[in-house]
Amino acid sequence: MTAKNKKGAEVRQVRFSERRDAWLRHHQTLAVDSLVEMLRRPISSMLTWMVIAIALSLPALMYLFLLNVQHVVGPIESGAQLTLYLDGAKVGQSGQKLAEDLQQRPEIAATEFVSAAQGLQQFREYSGLDDVIDSLGENPLPDVIVVKPVDTTAGSVESLKIMLEGLPEVSDVQLDLIWVQRINHISALAETLVGFLSVLFSMAVLLVVGNTIRLAIESRRAEILVVKLVGGTNAFVRRPFLYMGFWFGLAGGLVAWGLIALCFYLLSEPAAELLASVGSSGELVQLGFGGVFLLLVTAILISLLGTVIAVGRHIRAIEPS
């Protein structure tokens, strides 16, 4: 190729890198300018942050509540146990022996033999119905063996139950899992509900940010017209508003974090008491680093999406006439 062509290519390259630098510089300036712009109107900006923060912290708190319930219920579930009611006529005095035999099996972690007499004694202590029990004359309770399985997943507990029911000495096996299952069902239901509400609240954030940006665009209509008249592209006009949306999202997310932290601070004492009373040694499940990150990213993304929608709709409509 000729030297002339080569030079032409070089000129183009320089211009491209200059354009890119200009573009980056413009973005830098805008990022700072739009932040300053937002902070210059603290009251109205704060209202928007609060709406975003409340709309985000509500589903986040509900989700955390759910996590904590599962956290408390979890250990109880893992202590799932089977209660074997023994047939007195067949077992005779060998209940204790049967409990020890079962203990040897690999799928059983522990067994505890509770004789009919012990059972009656425990019932007497718990219920306080001494008179009624005395009037019975004969002990109506069977001997009982409490079995704790090694593997507590529903399937293996179920098969262990079938095996134990096959034993001749056992008249009935009760699986103490029903209420745990109920809690699981309720928490699955709650999870769906929280998911649905999260979508609703996210849409609220979308609309609030969209409306705020629409008003900002409206208030700068004259400026947008001038920019378009002197050759500004739609992208150029859009940019400051997109940064505004970003800052609103970030600020809203930070306030939401603050609200959640406040809520945890207020709840920490009663929650500790509650946890202690149900015998859970654990602490409350907190938002954590990952949670905060997710909260902020979500806030920014939703806010940006609301901005993109508002900006796309309104900026193209402003044309000189």
Partner 1 sequence: MIEFDKVTKRYKGGHEAVTDLTFSMAKGEMAFLTGHSGAGKSTLLKLLANIDRPTSGQVRVAGQLLNRMSSHQIPFYRRQLGIVFQNHHLLMDKTVFDNVALPLVIEGERPRDIARRVHAALDKVGLLDKEHERPMVLSGGEQQRVGIARAVVTKPRLLLADEPTGNLDPLLSREIMNLFADFNRVGTTVLIASHDLGLIARMPFRVMTLKGGQMIRTDRTVPYDR
Residue 52: count of CB within 10 angstroms of its CB: 29
Query: Within positions 26 to 55, which residues make up the interface with partner 1, using CB under 8 A?
Result: 26
- Residues 6 or more apart whose CB falls under 8 angstroms from that of 298 comprise 56, 202, 253
Q: Which two tokens stand for residue 175?
A: 């699986």
Which residue lies nearer to partner 1 by CB, 66 or 224? 224
Q: Does residue 232 touch partner 1 according to CB under 8 A?
A: yes
Q: Does residue 236 touch partner 1 according to CB under 8 A?
A: yes
Which residue lies nearer to partner 1 by CB, 124 or 220? 220
Q: Does residue 225 touch partner 1 according to CB under 8 A?
A: yes
Interacting residue with partner 1 among 8, 13, 25, 196 (CB under 8 A)? 25
C-beta pairs of 134-141 under 8 Å, 24+ apart in sequence: 141/116
Give the sheet arrangement for strand 82-86, strand by strand.
108-114, 144-149, 82-86, 170-175
Q: Minimum distance between the CB of residue 29 and partner 1, rounded to whole angstroms?
A: 9
Helix axes 178-219, 42-78, angle to 10 degrees: 170
Q: Does residue 227 touch partner 1 according to CB under 8 A?
A: yes
Q: Does residue 222 touch partner 1 according to CB under 8 A?
A: yes
The residue range among 22-30, 72-80, 189-197, 295-303 that interacts with partner 1, by the rule CB under 8 A, is 22-30
Q: Does residue 71 touch partner 1 according to CB under 8 A?
A: no
**Residue 40 backbone class (left: φ over 0; alpha: ψ -120 to 50; beta: rest):** alpha
Beta-ladder partners of 114: 144
The number of helices, as runs of H, and strands, as runs of E, in the chain is 11, 4
Q: Minimum distance between the CB of residue 253 and partner 1, rounded to whole angstroms?
A: 29
Which residue lies nearer to partner 1 by CB, 119 or 232? 232
**How many residues sit close enough to partner 1 to count as binding (CB under 8 A)?**
23
Q: Minimum distance between the CB of residue 230 and partner 1, rounded to whole angstroms?
A: 5
C-beta pairs of 225-230 under 8 Å, 24+ apart in sequence: 225/318, 225/320, 228/318, 228/319, 228/320, 229/320
Q: Minimum distance between the CB of residue 21 and partner 1, rounded to whole angstroms?
A: 8
Rule CB under 8 A: which residues touch partner 1?
18-19, 21-23, 25-26, 222-223, 225-234, 236, 319-321
